[in-house]
A and B are shown apart, each in its own frame.
Chain A
Amino acid sequence: MKRSICYLLAAAVFVVASAGFAAAAAGPNQQVRSLLDSYKKEAGVKSFSADEGRKLFNSKRTHSVKKEERSCTTCHTADPKQSGKTAVGKVIEPLAPSVNKERFTDPKKMEKWFKRNCEWVLERECTPKEKGDFITFMMTM
């Protein structure tokens, strides 16, 4: 009896572990992959650069009206694996998919937040190239 419970447990652990591994190895889901493809087409590039994405994430800029320095890291902190805080103190869950598996899974949500936040930092929308680089960088985190 004891032995069969052991086997069952081992099997359960295996199933859970391999499912987790598969999810991590799968990278962006189908919808996000096609979003990235459409960005590539619009930008006229073959691939995106995680390094450019990192630069964008860390670049600082002074807002023309508010006269304050802003960057992605203002709210998200310099480490995408950490949670951040908005200007009025609300906690923001980490951006890195490795610690927050909901990130970069829903194209509609991604587009909405690119629009809002690119305008907050850059006072304009981000280009398809910038968005592709940003996602690619986050996928490596």
Chain B
Amino acid sequence: MKMKKFVLPLLSAGLLLTGMATSSTVFADGRERGERNERNERGEREERGDRNGGRTVPPADNPAYKQECSSCHFLYQPGLLPARSWGELMMTADKHFGESLGLDEKTVKDLTAYLTANGADKQTNMRSRRIADSISPGSAPTRITEAPYIVKEHRKISKETFSRPSIKSFSNCGACHTKGAEGNFEEDFVEIPKK
């Protein structure tokens, strides 16, 4: 008898949850419906987490890329810059921001293919889309930290904060984005070191 008392509320809670999940799936497909009500909906949709491809930038999964590019810096996901930017960057691999990388020709070719195939403009996740949309079609910035969307999202962080010893640079994503390596750049997982 006592059991029965619980069954009804449990059932209705379950139904409610299912309903919520279904409605967010419908919202996730919002892009299909064109840009109608874009202004009203975009905020809501992104709040909930989707613009088709979720909010996570797919993690870098190419072994050569990991090996060659993450010894010195954060393993930037290809989805953090448009393909044309990666192309530009790899064309100057012998002078990578003024430093020699010592990569052989084949490695440069392989890395270029991987990076350009997975650039921000080829992605469906919200962050990559916003990065790609923020860069004017005529330009190909080679620094992620110069993409207008990235600049905007960090506008409240001072230069002094970036130069703290445990952070050192705006380029050091992983210093504050505790799940950055997994492509999760949500504010909930940001912890800015005090020193």
Binding site for B on A (CB under 8 A): 65-66, 85-90, 92, 112, 115-116, 119-120
B73 nearest in chain A by CB position: A88
Could you say which residues of chain B place their CB within 8 Å of the CB of A112?
102
Cβ-closest 3 pairs across A and B: A89-B168, A89-B172, A88-B169
B72 touches A90 (CB 8 A): yes
**Distance from B46 Cβ to chain A, minimum over Cβ atoms (Å):** 29
B102 touches A90 (CB 8 A): no
A88 to B71: give the CA distance in the assembly, Å. 11
A65 nearest in chain B by CB position: B98
Interface of B: prevailing SS: loop
Q: Apart from A89-B166, A90-B72, A90-B174, what 18 extra A-B contacts exist at CB < 8 Å?
A: A65-B98, A86-B72, A86-B73, A87-B72, A88-B72, A88-B168, A88-B169, A89-B167, A89-B169, A89-B171, A89-B172, A89-B175, A90-B73, A92-B71, A115-B102, A116-B100, A119-B99, A120-B99
For chain B, which range describes its interface: under 10, 10 to 19, 20 to 34, or 35 or more residues? 10 to 19
B17 within 8 A of A: no
B98 touches A66 (CB 8 A): yes
A90 touches B74 (CB 8 A): yes
B20 within 8 A of A: no
**Distance from B29 Cβ to chain A, minimum over Cβ atoms (Å):** 39
